[in-house]
Amino acid sequence: MPQTLVVKIGTSSLTRPETGQLALSTIASLVETLTRLRRSLYRVILVSSGAVGVGCARLDLKERPRKMPVKQAVAAVGQGRLIRVYDDFFTSLQQPIAQVLLTRRDLMERSCYVNAYNTFEALLELGVIPIVNENDTLAVDELKFGDNDTLSARVASLLKADWLFLLTDVDRLYSADPRVVPDAQPINLVTSTDFDRLQVEAGSSSKWGTGGMLTKLTAARIATSAGVRTVITQGKQPENIEKILQGEHIGTQFEPQSAMVDKARKRWIVNGLEPKGKLHLDEGAVVAICQGGKSLLAAGITQVEGNFSSSDAVQLCNSKSKEIARGIVNYNSAEIEKIQGHHSEKIPLLLGYAGSETVVHRDNLVLRD
């Protein structure tokens, strides 16, 4: 089975920081690298930033707009220019591409999620390299991924990719920003146990980008939890991707978690849905869910946090407020407040109607490491 690679490149790598103009030499190198990988039978998806930055340059704006309508208008200008440049470069190598614009809604609704998966699979089977970006022109805040690091991790999870490459303006992750702290220590490998103690102060200094090292850590957590090996490396040297695949130690690698989520529906619950609230559980419920593979019953709930509807995703937390699982609820927050701490047979009496015996059924529940 060919390996699937998701490659994300940021605005700071695609453009010249002093002008916002496209760095054509970097784009050419990226296109050549991805085309070689595709011809080596890798399945390749490119997640590309740059629409707003290119739009700013096209309109001779000196800084990114702050007002959302203006930003979305600038993105519309830049996206057309950006995809045209990609198409010109890839066409010169006879490599077909496709433009895919996504919002969070496309991955939040199950039918849209499945359709997005099927579309990507069809494109990859046809030998196409999909070029993905957030649909900045139409997305509103609550439906935005926020940054393309997160978007790329969601796409990698959706496709159960083997690798996620985050191409950025530094060569690897550091203990602090090496441009400010000269003795910052490089971090070559991050295991699944390192996330909780890893403190990263490095951030992007580019005025054209929206991401920083913290967003890349978040993306790496999302991707590795889905079993995707993640790499942070220098965006100006996209040819490093091939060297890394050949075993060279370049950049920072994040080991995929061994207890990866296998079923597509459960990957969607973890990485497609945004939690709308929290349910705090007693120790018995935690043990039943984590060790017994049981559903969540009302009796095990001690506290409800947030305002959510039935069929929303929520975090399930232990007595120390640590998330131990995530799932889709059968009741809204007001209903759960009425039935929490009570046995299932009392639900009809407490609510005035017969409902589900479970608050979260085990088929709609995913454990968190």
Q: Which domains does the chain have, with CATH numbers?
A: 4-265 (3.40.1160.10), 275-367 (2.30.130.10)
| E strand residue ranges, the chain | 4-9, 43-48, 97-102, 129-134, 163-168, 173-174, 186-187, 189-190, 229-234, 252-254, 278-281, 301-305, 313-317, 323-328, 365-367
Under the banding of pLDDT at 50, 70 and 90, the label for residue 353 is confident
pLDDT at 237: 94
Instruction: Judge whether 153 and 219 are in contact, CB under 8 Å.
Output: yes
pLDDT at 22: 84
Instruction: Judge whether 173 and 185 are in contact, CB under 8 Å.
Output: no
| E strand residue ranges, 216-312 | 229-234, 252-254, 278-281, 301-305
Q: In this structure, is the dihedral angle defined by the CA atoms of residues 348, 351, 356 and 360, taken in order, positive or negative? A: negative
- Mean pLDDT of the residues in the chain: 86
Instruction: Judge whether 125 and 41 are in contact, CB under 8 Å.
Output: no
pLDDT at residue 277 greater than cutoff 70? yes
Q: Which amino acid is at 228?
A: V
Q: In this structure, is the dihedral angle defined by the CA atoms of residues 72, 74, 77 and 79, taken in order, positive or negative? A: negative
Q: What is d(CA 54, CA 79) in angstroms, rounded to the nearest whole number?
A: 8
pLDDT at residue 67 greater than cutoff 90? no
109-137 per-position pLDDT tens digit: 878 888 999 999 999 999 999 999 887 65
Read off the pLDDT of each residue in 222-233 and give the average, rounded to a whole number.
90
